[in-house]
Amino acid sequence: MPESQTTPALWINLFQSHDQPGLPLRERVCAALRGAIRRGELGQGARLPATRVLAADLAISRVTAEAAYAQLEAEGYVTRRVGHGTVVSIASPGWQAPARVAQAAATLSRRGAAIVGTGGCRDPLVPRAFCAGSPDLRAFPVETWRQITARQLRSQGEALMGYGDPQGYAPLREAIAGYLAQSRGVRCDAGQVVVLTSSQQALQLLAMLLLDPGDAVHIEEPGYVGARNAFASAGARLLPAAVDAEGMAVPARAARLTYLTPSHQYPTGATLGLARRLALLEAAQRDGGWIVEDDYDSEFRYDARPLPAMQGLDRHGRVIYLGTFSKVLFPSLRLAYAVLPPALVEPAVKARTVMDGHSAQLAQAVTAEFIAHGHFARHLRQMRLLYASRRALLLERLGAAGMDWMTPLPGAGGLQLAVRLPAGSEAALTRQAAARGIATPSLSALYMGERRQDGWLLGFAALQNEEIIGAVEALAALRPDA
């Protein structure tokens, strides 16, 4: 059959009236023809005009017409053979793109349902009074970071753009091992360090690797919701252990894993005493359990040096030590690390490749240089002083405002201050504070059981002095008995 010598008026209309004039010409031709085929206006076997004819009739270039036909052929709408021209190859009478796609119900696996059932947790996008847990990003040495980034890109740009070692960029692992040995008493070499995106990823990875559904896990009460979520989503049986002024009480029962924040208990700020540390290590060795030591913010002790990490006391390789750069550098960096007993390194690295491969190489290289050239130590020193002064100001203003209904807990460091509130008052006070634009993260939400106490976590580190003063004034106007 000879090719059509003219383009049907219908197509010319379709092409001209096609309602996406912003699209490239080739796409408009394709869209017009696809539409005609789907609606059955062009049936199977129909022959399209030669590209020369189409180009002339639509006033487009022949190259564009050729490209449109080639695209439709690649999509399976037409076939093209020398001597036979271009022919519609599918029959789809009356097929229309649905106006609305029906939404299928989300049927989740049991594991998926357990993950979603935790409720997840989100951090505030923009720090404001008194959101908890954010460092002061306004005080970050952005210019130094920019210079190091430019230098790293110049000196090893291509190498940093490829896939990286799933265990982590070697110079960063060296820098982390050196820092931990010197400042936290952690005994490790770079071969035991695995670089991850966050403590949260570390917790999820450990839950996947070490826990079966029903396994017992000791967690602090009150404690970190991120850890609770990771273990609960693996189907673990969570056993809350009371926390007092000396940190987590040593549980009597055995568990497969014990999660704790011994240097600076989250959220009370208590330090775990030496006797309890030794007892927990002993119990882990006896029961074949793991201890996960989350050392998330011990750098921010303002009165004295923090106790060295529990990991340094471990003689049997039962402690997994976690640290994060979210607080000491900035959260969106997405870099954290686990120091693993040697036998767990290979399983963890394999599991990491199943999750997401590795952390961003450029960020790791910049962080490694930032540490190696002394910027990290300097930044920490400066932030420790800054946050200590903000904490002192917050305590002083809370005291001066005569809010006898609020009791600050003594914990000596961190980025937020835990305060207790009269029993039963947290929800109403939180609503009153929110009405004045003040966020007051819940303390009671960090409990799982009957020990629940009302209170708040007042994040102060990211706030400048006048912001602290203004926010305390707003709190002073609240009425616990309203």
Binding residues vs ligand PLP (CB under 6 A): 133, 198-200, 224, 226, 261, 266, 294, 296, 324, 326, 331, 336
Shortest separation between residue 279's beta carbon and ligand PLP, angstroms: 22
In the bound state with ligand PLP, the residue whose beta carbon lies nearer, of 324 and 367, is 324
Residue 442 gets which letter from DSSP? B
In angstroms, rounded to a whole number, what is the distance separating the alpha carbons of residues 160 and 169? Answer: 10
In the bound state with ligand PLP, the residue whose beta carbon lies nearer, of 324 and 364, is 324
The DSSP string of 38-84 is HTTSS-TTPEEPPHHHHHHHHT--HHHHHHHHHHHHHTTSEEEETTT
CA angle 98, 99, 105 (to 5 degrees): 75
In the bound state with ligand PLP, the residue whose beta carbon lies nearer, of 51 and 229, is 229
User: Counting beta carbons within 10 angstroms of the beta carbon of residue 470, is it exposed (0 to 12), middle (13 to 18) or buried (19 or more)?
Assistant: middle
Question: Residue 301 has which token pair?
Answer: 């002790």
In angstroms, rounded to a whole number, what is the distance separating the alpha carbons of residues 418 and 442? Answer: 9
Shortest separation between residue 222's beta carbon and ligand PLP, angstroms: 11
Instruction: Identify the helix (H) or strand (E) that includes residue 157.
Output: helix 142-161
In the bound state with ligand PLP, the residue whose beta carbon lies nearer, of 49 and 414, is 414
What amino acid occupies position 212?
A: D
Residue 272 gets which letter from DSSP? P
Shortest separation between residue 432's beta carbon and ligand PLP, angstroms: 25
Shortest separation between residue 206's beta carbon and ligand PLP, angstroms: 13
In the bound state with ligand PLP, the residue whose beta carbon lies nearer, of 51 and 263, is 263
In the bound state with ligand PLP, the residue whose beta carbon lies nearer, of 296 and 387, is 296
Residues in the chain: 482
Q: Where are the alpha helices (DSSP H) in 356-442?
A: 361-372, 375-400, 426-435
What amino acid occupies position 76?
A: G
In the bound state with ligand PLP, the residue whose beta carbon lies nearer, of 224 and 290, is 224
In the bound state with ligand PLP, the residue whose beta carbon lies nearer, of 333 and 403, is 333
Q: What residues contact 111, with CB distance under 8 A and at least 6 apart? A: 233, 235
Residue 445 gets which letter from DSSP? G
Shortest separation between residue 259's beta carbon and ligand PLP, angstroms: 9
In angstroms, rounded to a whole number, what is the distance separating the alpha carbons of residues 261 and 291? Answer: 10
Q: Quick check: helix, strand or coil at residue 441?
A: coil
In angstroms, rounded to a whole number, what is the distance separating the alpha carbons of residues 352 and 44? Answer: 50
Shortest separation between residue 298's beta carbon and ligand PLP, angstroms: 11
Q: Are 217 and 258 in contact (CB under 8 A)?
A: yes
Shortest separation between residue 276's beta carbon and ligand PLP, angstroms: 18
In the bound state with ligand PLP, the residue whose beta carbon lies nearer, of 336 and 368, is 336
Shortest separation between residue 299's beta carbon and ligand PLP, angstroms: 13
Shortest separation between residue 316's beta carbon and ligand PLP, angstroms: 24
In angstroms, rounded to a whole number, what is the distance separating the alpha carbons of residues 217 and 234? Answer: 11
In angstroms, rounded to a whole number, what is the distance separating the alpha carbons of residues 442 and 247? Answer: 20
Short-list 200, 236, 197, CA closest to 218: 236
User: Counting beta carbons within 10 angstroms of the beta carbon of residue 71, is it exposed (0 to 12), middle (13 to 18) or buried (19 or more)?
Assistant: middle
In the bound state with ligand PLP, the residue whose beta carbon lies nearer, of 51 and 326, is 326
Shortest separation between residue 127's beta carbon and ligand PLP, angstroms: 12
